Amino acid sequence: MSGHIVKFTNVTKKYLNQYAVNDISFDLPRCKIIALVGPNGSGKSTILKMIAGLARSTRGSVTVNGKPASRRIAGEVAFLSEKDILYPFFTVEETIRFNAGLFADFDMQKAGEILRFMQLEPDKKVRHLSKGNLGRLKILLVLSRRAPLLLMDEPLAGLDPLARDAIIKSMLSYLDLREQTVLLSTHEVSEVEPLLDMVMSLHNGSIKGFTDVEKIREEHGLSLLDWMKETLTN
Amino acid sequence: MREKFNNTQPIYLQILQRLCRQVIRGEIEPGAKLPSVREMAVHAGVNPNTVQRVYSELERLEIAETRRGLGSYITENETRLRRLREDLKNEQIGRFIKDMRESGFSPEEIMAGVSQELKGV
């Protein structure tokens, strides 16, 4: 097992002539919950997509669990996309079975536990789910996998407070931090702060700060939100 | 429901202080078993690594001990718990006095003010 779960070396990503990510390098340690924060267009989603092998870097290298990132490592990375990727004609239960068929590391027993925890109705069609319950189902699909790396693009965006709370609680209950690492992007900085080990702040495709969340409080006496404002405005 | 935390102190420290206060108030008794790291993480709504740090710190302070395979327990050492109570008292009084002196109050005024207030309690 290599030391870092993710390694970026001088990575640049250009869409046409626009830089989404500009020459960034960093290592992500294992067994942590790490957040990417920053304004829209700062490069958060691009970074997640490159790790998942859904986008290729223009320059530089991205390795995941010691291997070059590509579609072939999909078995080691569970990805919760911001976009809706579920089939609307499936029921909740069919969606779970479908995902269990796709991924060898999908844990049906865990999925059942999370289903009960989230109080989702197995027979309900995906197209009839509320936005909050859709968010609950998407997190269920990611947390049910025993992949070493879980990526979540805006898991809380646009959800009501009850759904956000259920999602945060389910992460604390069902993640296995002895073996798993979570990288998530979010705007709900204050809400996820108690959940995090580390945070990376991004602006215009560059890293403005990357540190332990408790260090921000210990050394600067700042909340994560204040720190973010400071790193992004200087 | 998840707990609330202030913005300026490390979260592990805030949980540590809360637990110490509960021990001093007798809400958690000597020898009591603490919730597992996972249970405490879910209850407080914080990262399990943060709770692990709290438990390690309690152990380092000899307020709790880890029994292999069984979990963490509050110490039954009365001397240690009495000292914890004293420490907490001195710390809070120290902070109060510092604040008062910085606001320009003399020791006599502080004493008089505290006695006055305590009579009303």
Q: Is A150 helix (H, G, I), strand (E, B) or coil?
A: strand
User: Does A172 lie at the interface with B, CB-CB under 8 angstroms?
Assistant: yes
User: Does A214 lie at the interface with B, CB-CB under 8 angstroms?
Assistant: yes
Selected residue with higher pLDDT from A12 and B6: A12
B17 and B71 in a single domain? The answer is yes
Is residue B95 included in any domain, yes or no?
yes
Query: Whole domain around residue B60: which residue ranges?
Result: 11-76
Nearest-CA residue of chain B relative to A194? B46
Q: Residue A225 corresponds to which amino acid? A: L
Digit-by-digit pLDDT tens for chain A (234 residues) are: 568 999 999 999 999 889 999 999 999 999 999 999 999 999 999 999 999 999 999 999 999 999 999 888 878 999 998 776 799 999 999 999 999 999 999 999 999 999 999 999 999 999 999 999 999 999 999 999 999 999 999 999 989 999 999 999 999 999 999 999 999 999 988 889 999 999 999 999 999 999 999 999 888 888 888 888 888 876
Where are the domains positioned within chain A?
Answer: 4-233
Is residue B68 included in any domain, yes or no?
yes
B16 and B71 in a single domain? The answer is yes
Is residue B6 included in any domain, yes or no?
no
B63 and B94 in a single domain? The answer is no
- State the smallest CA–CA distance between residue A191 and chain B in angstroms: 10
Distance (Å, whole) CA A25 – CA B30: 50
Q: How many domains does chain B have?
A: 2
B18 and B64 in a single domain? The answer is yes
Pair of tokens at residue A85: 């990727």
What DSSP state is assigned to residue A35?
A: E
**Nearest CA to A143 among A191, A98, A108?**
A108
User: Does A192 lie at the interface with B, CB-CB under 8 angstroms?
Assistant: no
CB A139 within 8 A of CB A155: yes
CATH class of the domain at A4-233? alpha beta
Whether residues A172 and B10 touch (CB distance < 8 A) is answered with no
ipTM, interface predicted TM-score of the complex? 0.82
Residues A117-153, buried b or exposed e (16+ Cβ, 10 A)? bbebeeeeebeebeebbbbbbbbbbbbbbbbbbbbbb
Q: Report pTM.
A: 0.88
B50 and B91 in a single domain? The answer is no
**Chain B residues contacting A via beta carbons under 8 Å:** 2, 5, 7-12, 38, 41-42, 44-50, 53
B62 and B115 in a single domain? The answer is no
Helices A213-220 and B11-25: crossing angle, nearest 10°?
A: 80
CB A68 within 8 A of CB A233: no
What is the model's pLDDT at position B2?
Answer: 67
Give the pLDDT band (50/70/90) at residue B76: very high
* Whether the predicted pLDDT of B3 surpasses 80: no
* Whether the predicted pLDDT of B64 surpasses 80: yes
B72 and B103 in a single domain? The answer is no
Output the domain CATH number for residue B50.
Answer: 1.10.10.10
Q: Residue A165 corresponds to which amino acid? A: D
B37 and B58 in a single domain? The answer is yes
Half-sphere exposure of A29 (CA within 13 A, CB side): 12
Nearest-CA residue of chain A relative to B6? A223
Is residue B5 included in any domain, yes or no?
no
Q: What angle do CA A72, A173, A121 make, to 5 degrees?
A: 80
B87 and B111 in a single domain? The answer is yes
Residue bearing tokens 């859709």: A134
What is the model's pLDDT at position A2?
Answer: 61
Question: How much is the mean pLDDT over chain B?
Answer: 92
Distance (Å, whole) CA A116 – CA A129: 16
Whether residues B8 and A217 touch (CB distance < 8 A) is answered with yes
Please list every residue in chain A whose beta carbon sits closer than 8 Å to the beta carbon of residue B10: 214, 217-218
Please list every residue in chain A whose beta carbon sits closer than 8 Å to the beta carbon of residue B46: 172, 194-195
Distance (Å, whole) CA A21 – CA A41: 10
Is residue B3 included in any domain, yes or no?
no
What is the model's pLDDT at position A234?
Answer: 66
User: Which among B61, B76, B91 is the end of a domain?
Assistant: B76
